[in-house]
Amino acid sequence: MPYDPSNPLKDRITDIGPKSYEEFLPPVIKKNFGKWAYHEILEPGVLVHVAESGDKVFTVRVGGARLMSVSHIREICEIADKHCDGYLRFTTRNNIEFMVDAESKIAPLKQDLLSRKQVGGGFKFPIGGTGAGITNIVHTQGWIHCHTPATDASGVVKAVMDDLFDEFTSMRMPAQVRISLACCLNMCGAVHCSDIAILGYHRKPPMIDAEVIDKVCEIPLAIASCPTAAIKPGKVKKPDGTEAQAVQVNNDRCMFCGNCYTMCPAMPLADDVGDGIVIMVGGKVSNRISYPKFSKVVVAFLPNTVPRWPETTDCIRKIVEVYSADAQKYERVGDWAERIGWEKFFEKTGLEFTHHLIDDFRDPAYYTWRQTSQFKF
């Protein structure tokens, strides 16, 4: 068809940009789009959404992984083809949701999902992650793909969720518990606002490879990359006695973020002793009951003890158990800590309080800008 200036998108064929999401909606969802009356959680991992027309969609949620093999994705698609007419969706926390249009289809779908096991005997598709429980951990790249991590992502998440598996498949917490992980403080995860957050942290400034920095780096770019202005131009003497352009790092100003290494591969800062994990708690983005909150540091450093990170899993298990036993219904972790007082939080969890944990962040924007949809007139 010839181009029609009055309707430029008509008969347009292109591979630029994604297709319309409407093409991937199950027919019952497309039919009732924007006209849903309510939803309920029938049991852990199983939901029903009811439309104004009376149509229903039943969803079975299973835990997924952020990094998946092609064979695993093909198995997911096979299940969707077998039970759900080929439709499925991924949640923002890496869960997989299989949707059916009749309650009678739930039981065979669940049976098929739970029958699929890993070689070691673990579930490939554990059902859960809904309501007042612990859902999947949203996390970053870690050692497998990122260049600035202070800890792994997938490995830590696997260890923590193995330990908390029973809380994923049940709903016995006082409220939902959101756990997240970022493998460095550049934080492409959501650790700033999660109930429990795992943060990889560097404790040493970048090293400078003086022999190659002037060959592989643009010095002005490396200097400009530092958010705290801790880097300035400098010169170094090479082993052959010649001088070369380089940089100097003000260690007192460095916050160990790794931005300089992103711009300059001759400034690595990964260190097996200096790198480790920080635990933060009390954040949330929800406006329910109380305002959104930032997470607060409660453990300043835990070592990277591979492959199962026992110090990290034990710490998180302790926080979850005390919160579960002591919090009131519907209280998130931060709401519970503020109600009993942070002093009592440390006392009940047995975590040591040090001067490293004092929250001294002050910024007018933090306490003057409206951060919530809760209005008082």
Q: What is the pLDDT of residues 214-263, one digit of tens each?
A: 899 999 999 999 999 999 999 888 778 888 889 999 999 999 999 999 99
Q: Tell whether the model's pLDDT for residue 347 goes beyond 90.
A: yes
Q: Among candidates 217, 267, 221, which has minimal Cα distance to 245?
A: 217
Q: Tell whether the model's pLDDT for residue 376 goes beyond 90.
A: no
CA-based R_g, the chain, Å: 25
Rounded CA separation 155/144 (Å) = 10
pLDDT for the residue numbered 18: 77
Would you say 168 and 176 are in contact if contact means Cβ atoms under 8 Å apart? no
Lowest model confidence (mean pLDDT) among 98-102, 124-128, 196-200, 358-362: 358-362
Selected residue with higher pLDDT from 167 and 359? 167
How does residue 15 score in pLDDT terms, banded at 50, 70 and 90? low
Task: Look at the block and give the residue holding tokens 């306490």.
Answer: 367
Asked whether the bond before 292 is cis by omega within 30 degrees of 0, the reply is: no
What one-character DSSP code corresponds to residue 371? -
Rounded CA separation 178/197 (Å) = 8
Selected residue with higher pLDDT from 364 and 310? 310
Q: In the predicted model, what is the mean pLDDT of the chain?
A: 92
Task: Look at the block and give the residue holding tokens 């518990």.
Answer: 177
Residues 6+ apart with CB under 8 A from 239: 211
Q: What is the pTM of this model?
A: 0.90
How does residue 173 score in pLDDT terms, banded at 50, 70 and 90? very high
Q: Tell whether the model's pLDDT for residue 53 goes beyond 60.
A: yes
Q: Among candidates 6, 116, 132, which has minimal Cα distance to 62?
A: 116
Q: Tell whether the model's pLDDT for residue 149 goes beyond 90.
A: yes
pLDDT for the residue numbered 174: 97
Give the mean model confidence (pLDDT) for residues 200-211.
Answer: 92
What three-state secondary structure class fits 211?
coil
Maximum mean pLDDT: which of 7-21, 68-82, 288-302: 68-82
pLDDT for the residue numbered 364: 72
